[in-house]
Structure 1
Amino acid sequence: MSRPRILVAGLGDTGLLTAIHLSKHADVVGISSKPGLVSGQELGLRLARPREWARDYWVAFDRYHRLDSVRTVHGTMTRVDLEARRVHLTGPDGAAGTEPYDVLVIATGVTNGFWRRPNLQTGDQVAAAITLDHERLAAAGSVIVLGGGAAAVSSALNVATTWPDKRVDLYFPGGQALPHHHRKVWGTLSKRLERLGVGLHPRHRAVVPDGFGCDEITSGPVEWSTGQSASSADAVLWTIGRVVPNTTWLPGELLDENGFVVVDEYLRVRGAPGVYAIGDVAATDPLRTSARSRADGLLAHNIRADLDGGTPKPFEPAARRWGSVVGAQRNSLEVFSSGGRAFWIPAWSLLQPLIVWRGIYRGVRKSG
């Protein structure tokens, strides 16, 4: 009996780990708009220290030995034929193609700001975009960071650490930042930001200019809907969490009113037999992927259970976000528990067990 053919649409943070989990049990094909993993994690490191970031968050697919049995396809999905069980796509040369499936996993994620984009890119284009953002900040004498999530806090801290002579200000809409983490996390990181000289400005909500998708670093004044006078800087980072699901290739009946894929408690897509969704693109809970490292293993279990007549397990999202917030600092990584406790890993050589357990880097990589 032939093994089932599983098509993973999207090989970002979650899709790649899902493909790894399934690779021993099925013929897996992954479709990616990038030539390797270009993670959406640790934005602050990517902006301030791109070489260090690329070491662990931009990884060619052939460096994962557990992907050796997975065929990766470089392209973007254009539509899916649910009845024929085929995904239509366009390759880097513009040629159209199709990929059949027995099981489809939708893991195309979301567009978010200037750093998480679904567009088809070569390795050189990825490198050029990362370098351009870094040089834009390096040349700025002052930086405004807008937003209260991990991307905003990480960006403010890493910019201030890398360029201590810059004026850096963090503006966020609530009374404190990191509202989806335990309050102790903000208590720890706000003190660190203050020691670095970062200006903290709570209860500031930026006015997004008409027609602006928050998809580039800007300059000039920022207006506030909360009544404060306008603020300005040489570079403005719009890390406000204005996410758009990458689902234009999917039929509307699979989506909710905001364009996210509707799933049941087992991550099955409603109304589409043999189709599942995982990660930011799935309409699961307000935190989306707060339990990412648990969800990919659970989804693999559920797919195998559905194929073999086993018992699936329901997805239970975490109540709070946990893990790294600001990335590696001075060759150490700080990880926060869901209860707000900080754990320091003192050297990168000690990280491999944590990496595999947490799913931060999606599997064991080949050396070299």
Structure 2
Amino acid sequence: MIAGMGDSGLLTAIHLARGRSPIPLPWLGSRPHCDVVGISSKPGLLSGQELGTRISRPDAWVRDHWISFDRFRGLDRVRTVHGSLVGLDTARARVDVALGDGSVVAEPYDVLVISTGVRNGFWRQPTLQTTTDIDRELGETHTSLDGATSVAVIGGGAAAVSSAANIAAVWPAKNVRLYFPGARALPAHHPRVWQHVRSRLDGLGVEMHSGHRAELPCDSGIDRIGTGPVHWTTGQPPASADAVVWAIGAVRPNTEWLPGDLLDEHGFVRVESDLRVVGQDRIFAVGDVAATDPLRNSARNRADRLMAHNVRATLRGGHRRHYRPRHRRWGSVLGVQRDGLEVFTPGGRPFRFPTWSIDTLLQPWIVRRGIYRGIRDPASATADDTGWSGN
């Protein structure tokens, strides 16, 4: 059972569902598979990555980051349930799922993988949504920014920096300002990354304002594109803008459905070094919801393979491996730009995929075939986001 089918959950499901060879050849070894059920509040992979591209160029973002489950060849053996997780009964080894029609079903498991992620601003919410809901939300967000003359981006992490850069690149006439609380943005990255990215922001005309810590709105204002003004706890005058993008990193784990004894004081799932939930032999957690390390970096460091190995080891009595976290964030910050995709190592060194390679090498071969094990074209997929899908 995969509870949560975001990036980490989906990849774990694909690894576990890989089947045996149709011709039994013992000397070649076997490829044991698991019967996998995936629970998701979305009818497909709705990635939390590349916020800047999502809000500025949604058509380009959708192609690579909003993909219905029936298009993934690696999920052909997986049964997916479109619903919201509302309860876990560890004694009976089952989860309760609320479906779109209001009914609640109980799904039993032999091993449970918790990968429900976190909510963070308007782009990462656990709400039960259909394809129509998601498409409408993407369009409305883009439209609200398109009509703004000035944009204030609040936050110092990669999501905020990417938003400011991409808005400025797509709409060069807009006044784009980035406000962050520290002396520099990207504090979880190597210092070299900010030095490099800052020069890109300068070239795009983004105004940068350090030392600004925002006073949060009283309501759910950070969960949508706001209109300001923004007030500061650090004493500066209020800032006004036609559109305010809140990307402050105030993550909240999607764990309301879990018993409290599985969680730490912040609501994240407590795990051992092998990603087993503390005190549980057959429950694991991976991704942003798992309290693996201060940065909760298991999703970014591809712990999905390790997770699949440990689930199989649990079922077969094998040896489980241990997760070793990195202590800095790494990877892409700005997403694909006119001159290609720049990716940073944990040591802050950039390397670039040139523009020509994005659609001819990176996406079709490395991502779609290598990482996701094949993705069908939209025309050949048959989406059904109303309840049950899969086998």
Q: Is the 8 A contact 2:56 2:167 kept in 1?
A: yes
1:196 aligns with 2:204: yes
Q: Give 1:333 deviation, angstroms.
A: 1.6
1:175 and 2:175 correspond: no
Per the normalisation by structure 1, the TM-score is 0.94
Shift of 1:357: 9.7
Tell me whether 21-30 or 38-47 shows the greater mean CA deviation. Answer: 21-30
Contact kept, 8 Å, 2:288 with 2:298, in 1: the verdict is no
The yes-or-no answer on 1:15 pairing with 2:27 is no
* 3-state secondary structure, aligned to 2:152: strand
Match of 1:30 among 16, 24, 38: 38
TM-aligned CA distance change 1:293 to 1:69, over 3 Å: farther
SS in 1 for 2:242: strand
Partner of 1:236: 244
> Any idea what SS the aligned residue of 1:207 has?
coil
Contact 2:288 2:299 in 1 (8 A): no
How far did residue 289 of structure 1 move? 2.4
* 1:282 pairs with 2:290: yes
Call closer, same or farther: CA 1:188–1:357 in 2, change over 3 Å: farther
Output the CA distance in 1 between the equivalents of 2:280 and 2:273: 15
Aligned with residue 44 of structure 1, among 40, 49, 52:
52
Stretches of structure 1 that go unaligned for 5 or more consecutive residues are 1-6
- Greater percentage in strand: 1
Paired residues of 1:263 and 1:284 also in contact (CA < 8 A): yes
Q: 1:117 aligns with which of 121, 125, 129?
A: 125
3-state SS of 2:189 partner: coil
What does residue range 70-85 of structure 1 map to in structure 2 within 5 Å? 70-85=78-93
Check conservation: 2:286, 2:298, Cα contact below 8 A: no
Question: Using the alignment, how far apart are the partners of 1:285 and 1:49 within structure 2?
Answer: 33
Distance 1:34 1:331, change over 3 A: farther
Distance of 1:248 and 1:41 partners within structure 2: 23
Percent sequence identity over aligned pairs: 56
Deviations 1:224-252 (A, max 9, x none): 11111111101111100011100111111
Q: Determine if contact 1:61/1:67 at 8 Å carries over to the other structure.
A: yes
Separation in 1, partners of 2:279, 2:191:
39
Contiguous gaps of at least 5 residues in structure 2:
19-32, 379-391
Relative to structure 1, is the Cα distance of residues 291 and 38 closer, same or farther in structure 2, using a 3 angstrom cutoff? closer
Distance 1:133 1:166 in 2: 16
The offset of 1:175, in angstroms, is 0.8
> 1:117, 1:336 → 2: CA distance?
27
Corresponding residue of 2:23:
none
User: 336, 361, 364: which one pairs with 1:350?
Assistant: 361
2:120 is equivalent to residue 135 of structure 1: no
Structure 1 counterpart of 2:320, from 288, 294, 312: 312
Q: Is the counterpart of residue 328 in structure 1 residue 336 in structure 2?
A: yes
Q: Which moved more, 1:70-79 or 1:283-292?
A: 283-292
SS at structure 2 position matched to 1:97: strand
Aligned length: 360
2: CA distance, partners of 1:58 / 1:294: 19
Report the CA distance between 1:356 and its aligned residue: 6.4
Q: Which residue of 1 aligns with 2:377?
A: 367
Contact map agreement 2:8 2:299 (CA 8 A) in 1: no
Residue pairs, 1:203-214, within 5 angstroms:
203-212=211-220, 214=222
Compute the displacement of 1:358 (Å): 8.9
Q: Which amino acid aligns with 2:233?
A: S
Shift of 1:68: 0.6
State whether residues 290 and 321 of structure 1, in contact with CA within 8 Å, keep that contact through their aligned partners in structure 2.
no
Q: Does 1:153 align with 2:161?
A: yes
Find the residue that maps to 2:303 and give its secondary structure.
Answer: helix
The one of 270, 283, 300 equivalent to 1:262 is: 270
Q: Which amino acid aligns with 1:57?
A: H
The letter of the residue matching 1:10 is G
RMSD: 1.6
Within 1, Cα distance between the matches of 2:327 and 2:298? 8
| Cα separation, partners in 2 of 1:327 and 1:290, compared to 1, 3 Å | farther
* TM-score, structure 2 as length reference: 0.89
Q: Is this contact kept in 1: 2:292–2:298, CA < 8 A? A: no
Counterparts of 1:302 and 1:327 in 2: how far apart (Å)?
Answer: 32
Distance 2:304 2:169 in 1: 34
> Hey, what's the Cα distance between the residues in 1 that align with 2:43 and 2:36?
17
Q: For the structure 1 residues 292 and 197, does the alpha-carbon distance in structure 2 shift closer, same or farther, using more than 3 Å as the test?
A: closer
